[in-house]
Chains A and B, each alone.
Chain A
């Protein structure tokens, strides 16, 4: 990807602000709507989409049979070229001069407009956003809001340039203009082309979901109608289709239903009531192959709701023209791998910060971050610096043995320059300081050698080597709640290896930790973590990487410490100290979202009497070591997010921040200038447990 292009985007603060706010509000709407849906709708959808993922070839055959039985002309295109040839030949044979299209990402994938135009056929996009990007000579930057990157002024200017008409730069006036401008095309077009949101295998019907009414006009007005559908849109039955129809609008636009759901059959309701000529083109183009790739097949569940785009921190900053190909954003990385190749996908994948928010937002639970990690792994494009970052734990262990030296090195301008050029750690990034010593030493052998306990504490790198005060507090708080605790020597979670796509190394680390923890789990222990990323690795990533029964057992037993205390803990009533009176902002770490419903930490702090507020802005932008790296694949993007998050936090009037992630703490402290503390410190304070090992530099 052109670095200059990225720097150009990063220099346009207004564009980033607009996108940031738009995506924030889309995420909020979508989350609200999804939460209000009956859970069985989501379960039904997941089951339906898993069925498609596992039985794609069979369902394709069934669809072809039933659509043909209904009199539909069906063509299965193995490749994009075959699909293009079929449609262009058909248009030529029927003397088509003008085609009107409703929104379709599959036709974008095929580059159908180009093929038709090259054959001398005029193509008019009729979805407002698609029409705008068509006039601009661009491609959609967002799969459901194609022109979200353009301002109202940009669009008004475009209309003036391309249609020579001056329109007021207001969404209402622009919309009125296009309503009038496109009407003649609807009346005169010979052929209509639609995409498909669903294809129902049991009877071959195609379903499209729209708001503007253009989809209905495209299916009603012309004499020839063609629907182009990626074969992953197939569901077996109407019952399953209804699950898609209930969840898709909620996840996409935060509504119960879009304005129009059009079911197209071979006797679509054309304007003369006659049977139009109807063709269904089913496109494979890599989909069946993806169904046999363990790490890619989940993408076939995608219902194109765009929730993953809206929530993605990288997408919010860079937009779809950089963080994407034809398909944009998180799902775009996977769909680039399916419809193009892994190498093309890895070019986009490098901007993924591995926050996992896309997984938390996806209504069909596609593990996009892990698939992206596999894409990085398969591409072999990882850099030496990335390899060095996977050794972060060794660096931390060394730092804890020579704290003065390391703290000095991290503080000196000259060594920061060296660190930047060798390790690629941006010199502007505020670093954690080393306390000296480590958790295992501080706790003593009793915890290290315990063979049985109610709870096993998994500290991860930060609480082992950097601020082991958190680890001590975790053990003391657990004991104050009546739990016996063991702290066996485990490796760090290995997140950098997952993040940068070093899967064999990630596997080794996962195997080592699972081996260590499984004997405890077999004896009924729970595993608790103070670092959300560690809990994510144990409960989400390891079972998928290893696939073993042991890793699944460990996953089931794992929870975040604060979540455990929120559900099971019985903290004694004690008088509150000063913190109860100061305004605390709670930052919800990305990885915590996958582990528990709601925000247990915030709820617990409130229950304990602290004054806590929060805003759900998503990722703070650091994402482990990613935001420490120099350049566009690190600090530059990370700081764009960090600054915007900081503005939101500071506007609440908060005086300090509570969170559980050590790296989020680093980012929030750097950009807000506020004190950031681990939630366990507030709980310990409430319980009257002395925090002797805290210092001003820790969190």
Chain B
């Protein structure tokens, strides 16, 4: 019987093709003020219904992904905006807990995105986090937009130094850049349309996570 482990890795290359987007933080080093804001942001995200984690070193990222993925049924993966090293780290972490992954490599997006809908994980690069409201900003990056929207599970990554205090901190970015689109994500998709009962998971992700790192993501 032909049985083998086949891996699905579907990587949206948009961010690289477009060139690296300038980030919200001016300083790359992560000082204690940035770290505190990062924690504040994560606490707000947690209240908004995200799974949250703060990781100091790249190696620790793998354990967060394997821990979260252990609870999720994942058969396909969509990654956007992350460096080769991070993609590898995440991918390895996932296959350590998910042995049934099939490999399929495509040069372009299929017209039918259903494969990336159920039992799928989207991992994306967050442009900035908003501490006051617990919002993840995806800016001008259609790959991250898809990876944060279509799959059943999603995880956004950003550096502690990329967390800003409130929406107003974004004003200058919006003025300086001729933005094509932006999304601020403040929780998994949800509705209260039936008898005002809160239900998580409507047309967007059913579960969402966010990881703030104490190291630089784009190296």
Residues of A that sit less than 8 Å from B by CB: 18, 22, 25-26, 70, 126-129, 132, 145-148, 150-152, 155, 171-172, 174-176, 178-179, 182-183, 186-187, 202-203, 205, 211-214, 216-217, 219-220, 238-239, 242, 245-246, 253, 256-273, 275
Contact = CB atoms under 8 A, between A and B. Distances in A.
Contacts of B201: 175-176, 179
A275 to B, nearest CB: 8
A70 B194 contact: no
Given A212-B191, A213-B204, A269-B138, 18 more contacts: A129-B193, A145-B192, A147-B193, A148-B196, A155-B194, A171-B197, A179-B201, A187-B113, A187-B114, A211-B189, A212-B189, A216-B183, A220-B145, A256-B134, A259-B204, A262-B182, A266-B180, A271-B142
A259 B186 contact: yes
Contact of B195 (A171, A178, A268, A275): A171
B112 A171 contact: no
Contacts, number: 177
Given A216-B183, A261-B184, A128 B194 contact: yes
Nearest to B175: A238
Interface string B170-193: 110011001111111111111111
Given A145-B196, A238-B174, A269 B48 contact: no
A343 B118 CA distance: 52
Main secondary structure of the interface of B (DSSP, over half): loop
Contacts of B188: 259
B199 A273 contact: no
Given A259-B188, A269-B142, A217 B203 contact: yes
Contact of A18 (B134, B195, B199, B205): B195
Given A212-B203, A259-B189, A220 B184 contact: no
B194 A171 contact: yes
Contacts of A178: 202
Contacts of A179: 201-203
A432 B145 CA distance: 65
A500 B164 CA distance: 52
7 contacts: A152-B194, A172-B199, A182-B203, A187-B114, A211-B191, A263-B182, A269-B142
A126 B114 contact: no
B135 to A, nearest CB: 6
B204 A260 contact: yes
Contacts of A182: 203
B217 interface: no
B14 A273 contact: yes
Contact of A242 (B117, B168, B196, B197): B168
Contacts of B146: 220, 271
Interface of B: 14, 44, 48, 109, 111-114, 117, 132-135, 138, 140-143, 145-146, 149, 166-168, 170-171, 174-175, 178-197, 199, 201-205
A257 B135 contact: yes
A230 to B, nearest CB: 22
A114 B113 CA distance: 30
B21 to A, nearest CB: 13
Contacts of B196: 22, 25-26, 145, 148
A238 B176 CA distance: 12
B84 to A, nearest CB: 20
B113 A271 contact: yes
Given A217-B149, A267-B180, A271-B142, A174 B194 contact: yes
Contact of A203 (B111, B174, B189): B174
Contact of A268 (B167, B181, B189, B204): B181
A23 B189 CA distance: 23
Among B175, B178, B192, the most chain A Cβ lie within 10 Å of the Cβ of B192
Contact of A220 (B134, B149, B180): B149
A219 to B, nearest CB: 8
Given A145-B196, A213-B189, A271-B109, A257 B184 contact: yes
Nearest to A132: B193
A152 B199 CA distance: 13
Given A263-B183, A267-B181, A256 B132 contact: yes
Given A128-B191, A151-B195, A239 B168 contact: yes
Nearest to B208: A259
A557 to B, nearest CB: 38
Contacts of A270: 142
A259 B134 CA distance: 10
Contacts of A18: 195
Contact of A216 (B48, B178, B180, B204): B204
B184 A175 contact: no
B202 A268 contact: no
A219 B203 CA distance: 13
A263 B180 CA distance: 8
B44 A260 contact: no
Contacts of B192: 145, 211, 253
A172 B168 CA distance: 36
Among A178, A183, A269, the most chain B Cβ lie within 10 Å of the Cβ of A269
A422 to B, nearest CB: 44
Contact of B190 (A126, A145, A212): A212
B184 A256 contact: no
B207 to A, nearest CB: 13
Contact of B203 (A25, A126, A239, A258): A126
A246 B191 contact: no
A73 to B, nearest CB: 15
A151 B195 CA distance: 6
A641 B100 CA distance: 59
A257 B186 contact: yes
A271 B170 CA distance: 25
Of all A-B residue pairs in the complex, the 7 with the closest CB atoms, nearest first, are A213-B204, A267-B180, A213-B189, A129-B193, A257-B186, A213-B203, A212-B202
B164 to A, nearest CB: 12
Nearest to B141: A269
B199 A175 contact: yes
Given A211-B189, A220-B145, A257-B48, A262 B132 contact: no
Contacts of A265: 179-182
A175 B171 CA distance: 36
A187 B143 CA distance: 17
B202 to A, nearest CB: 4
Contacts of B171: 238-239, 242
B203 A145 contact: no
A217 B117 CA distance: 12
A128 B197 CA distance: 13
A40 to B, nearest CB: 11
A212 B133 contact: no
A186 B203 contact: yes
A260 B186 contact: yes
Contacts of A239: 168, 171
A67 to B, nearest CB: 13
A291 B149 CA distance: 40
A70 B183 contact: no
B125 to A, nearest CB: 14
Contact of A212 (B113, B182, B186, B204): B204
B103 to A, nearest CB: 23
A188 to B, nearest CB: 10
A331 B32 CA distance: 48
B184 to A, nearest CB: 4
Contacts of A176: 201
Contact of A263 (B141, B149, B179): B179
B209 to A, nearest CB: 14
Contacts of B179: 205, 263, 265
Contact of B44 (A213, A219, A242, A256): A256
A202 B174 CA distance: 11
